[in-house]
Copies of this chain bind each other. A is one copy, B any other.
Amino acid sequence: MRDKQREETRRRIYLAALEVFRRDGVSQCRIEDIAQKSEVSRGAFYFHFPTKDDVLIELLRESQKPMEAKLVELPKNAPLQLTLDTLSTELAAFWEKDSKLLPDVASVALKMNSVVMDRESIRVREVLGRLFTEAAAQGQLSDVLPPEVLADFYLANALAAMMAWCANPMLPLETVLKGVSMLFLTGAQARTP
């Protein structure tokens, strides 16, 4: 009962925060406006989210749910190309229509990746690491670098591509991401000697 109430309030604050972020920008907006829109006190916002960044971390987590689901249900020993195409499609589906917050979320993700090292919040990182490890075991990947490292590089490339697209969205995001995947695969695929 109390848990339900808390989650409901938290969710209301979360959604209101995203609206205000999109309208006024993350760093420019006032927490007072978020509190007002979600009909709680400023202190309640603070109780649920110590900082604005914590809201963005929640969005980062949410954004990974559909991707993770699709990745997990891939056939065993799927070719890497299929894995990366799936990821590209899901990334594009989520961010193409909500690109306003992408730079702020990317910035938070980048910091967490190194500073906080919060494995919980970037779950796709783990799932992809596992898929890359399997692919490597089958000889689909170069062994110049460990598969988890390659997975991180792929994600970094995808992030960079999304930021570039953000600044200059000429092509559909999915096309750009699939292009990046192809480039990555060319470099990272095992040489057939």
Contacts and interface: CB of A to CB of B under 8 A. Distances in A.
Copies in the complex: 2
- Highest count of chain B CB atoms <10 Å: which of A167, A182, A188: A167
A115 interface: yes
Interface stretch (A7-15, A131-139, A144-152): A144-152
Interface in A166-183: 166-167, 179-180, 182-183
A184 interface: yes
Nearest to A25: B115
Q: Give the interface residue-count category, chain A.
A: 20 to 34
B114 A145 contact: no
A111 B117 contact: no
A136 B101 CA distance: 35
Contacts of A164: 113-114, 149, 152
Contacts of A160: 152-153, 156-157, 159-160
A107 interface: yes
B144 A182 contact: yes
Nearest to A184: B187
